[in-house]
């Protein structure tokens, strides 16, 4: 099988624990792109927080893509055009904030390049560190959020969010997509929007078949794209539940797991053996 697209989660997949791309991973992805394979960075991160990584991999040179906000946006990095975009109304964002208050957890969203919240917590600051975006603590979430937003996050201790997730998944079924991107992040996007459905939009635009797509991830918000892709690769550091749905388990994010999978499934068919 000749694969035409490699779709990659960022945190704990492509990126090492310090948030950087290893030389081995970078070289493998550059070689694949030079051979015509599209690389897609697919993350729950806002677009702003993916720019430097997209530039480091020269996605603009090869017409590769990013799927940000868990697939709520697809951007061609060469043209900077959005080929897909999904948002929540301000009213829905306000309603979710109200639910967060009822559940005793903190909520945040993004307006421009800022993280907006009424209550900054240690987890809000984790999001700031991951994204490089500034936290703006506001007196009124409703007054600060007057435009459509891509997603809302509820953040809290993992054991607390397990309970909140189960309750709100049932309450918002058919209205919103609810998923945890990290143990302490519970994300809300438009119903039917996830990395898998977004990936489906993209390959239809490009004329690529599902069977020609490799997806790699480690988290629960990667499940939809792993199940959609022709080849699902779980990281060695992924939870057992993620490994069980994968076709192949590679090495960890700290040991060039992405590069090893790319070399095994893509580059060996592109570069003659020596």
In this model, does residue 274 exceed pLDDT 60?
A: no
Number of structural domains (the chain) is 2
Q: Tell whether 141 and 229 lie within a shared domain.
A: no
Please check whether residue 33 is in contact with residue 60, taking contact to mean a CB–CB distance below 8 angstroms: no
Q: Tell whether 203 and 177 lie within a shared domain.
A: no
Q: Tell whether 117 and 174 lie within a shared domain.
A: yes
Q: Across residues 197-204, what is the average pLDDT? A: 96
Q: Across residues 135-158, what is the average pLDDT? A: 97
Please check whether residue 233 is in contact with residue 260, taking contact to mean a CB–CB distance below 8 angstroms: no
Question: Is residue 274 situated within a structural domain?
Answer: no
Q: Tell whether 43 and 57 lie within a shared domain.
A: yes
In this predicted model, what pLDDT tens digit does every residue of 209-230 receive, in sequence order? 999 999 999 999 999 999 999 9
Question: Is residue 38 situated within a structural domain?
Answer: yes
Q: What is the mean pLDDT of the chain?
A: 95
Q: Tell whether 68 and 102 lie within a shared domain.
A: no
> Which CATH number covers residue 107?
3.30.1240.10
Residue 246 in tokens: 């994968």
In this predicted model, what pLDDT tens digit does every residue of 171-187 receive, in sequence order? 999 999 998 888 999 99
Q: How many CA atoms lie within 13 A of 73 on its CB side?
A: 21
Q: How far apart are CA 180 and CA 83, in angstroms?
A: 25
In this predicted model, what pLDDT tens digit does every residue of 9-65 receive, in sequence order? 999 999 999 999 999 999 999 999 999 999 999 999 999 999 999 999 999 999 999
End-to-end CA distance of the chain: 21
Question: Is residue 126 situated within a structural domain?
Answer: yes
For residue 102, give Cα distances in angstroms to 177, 183, 265.
19, 20, 48
Q: Across residues 80-88, what is the average pLDDT? A: 94
SS3 48: helix
pLDDT in the model for residue 243: 98
In this model, does residue 268 exceed pLDDT 90?
A: no
In this predicted model, what pLDDT tens digit does every residue of 102-124 receive, in sequence order? 999 999 999 999 999 999 999 99
Q: Tell whether 75 and 205 lie within a shared domain.
A: yes
Q: Tell whether 208 and 73 lie within a shared domain.
A: yes
Among 190, 223, 244, identify where a domain stops: 190
Ramachandran angles phi, psi of 60, nearest 5°: -65, -35
Ramachandran angles phi, psi of 222, nearest 5°: -95, -10
Range of the domain at 167: 90-190
Residue 43 in tokens: 């993350």
């Amino acid at each position: 099988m000749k694969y035409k697209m490699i779709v990659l989660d960022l945190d704990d997949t492509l990126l090492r624990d310090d948030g950087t791309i290893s030389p081995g991973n970078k070289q493998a992805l550059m070689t694949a792109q030079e051979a015509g394979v599209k690389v897609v960075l697919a993350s729950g991160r806002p677009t702003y927080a993916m720019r430097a990584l997209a530039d480091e991999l020269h996605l603009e040179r090869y017409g590769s893509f990013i799927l940000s906000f868990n697939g709520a946006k697809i951007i061609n990095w060469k043209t900077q055009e959005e080929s897909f975009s999904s948002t929540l109304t301000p009213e829905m964002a306000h309603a979710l904030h109200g639910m967060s208050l009822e559940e005793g957890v903190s909520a945040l969203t993004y307006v421009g390049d800022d993280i907006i919240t009424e209550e900054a917590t240690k987890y809000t600051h984790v999001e700031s560190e991951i994204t490089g975006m500034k936290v703006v603590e506001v007196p009124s979430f409703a007054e600060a959020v007057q435009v459509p937003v891509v997603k809302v996050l509820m953040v809290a201790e993992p054991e607390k969010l397990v309970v909140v997730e189960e309750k709100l998944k049932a309450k918002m079924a058919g209205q919103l997509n609810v998923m945890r991107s990290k143990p302490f992040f519970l994300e809300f996007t438009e119903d039917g929007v996830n990395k898998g459905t977004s990936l489906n939009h993209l390959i239809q635009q490009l004329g690529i078949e599902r069977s020609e797509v490799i997806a790699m991830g480690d988290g629960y918000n990667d499940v939809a794209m792993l199940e959609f892709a022709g080849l699902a690769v779980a990281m060695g550091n992924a939870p057992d539940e993620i490994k069980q749905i994968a076709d192949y388990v590679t090495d960890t994010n700290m040991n060039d797991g992405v590069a090893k999978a790319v070399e095994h499934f893509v580059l060996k068919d592109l570069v003659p053996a020596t």
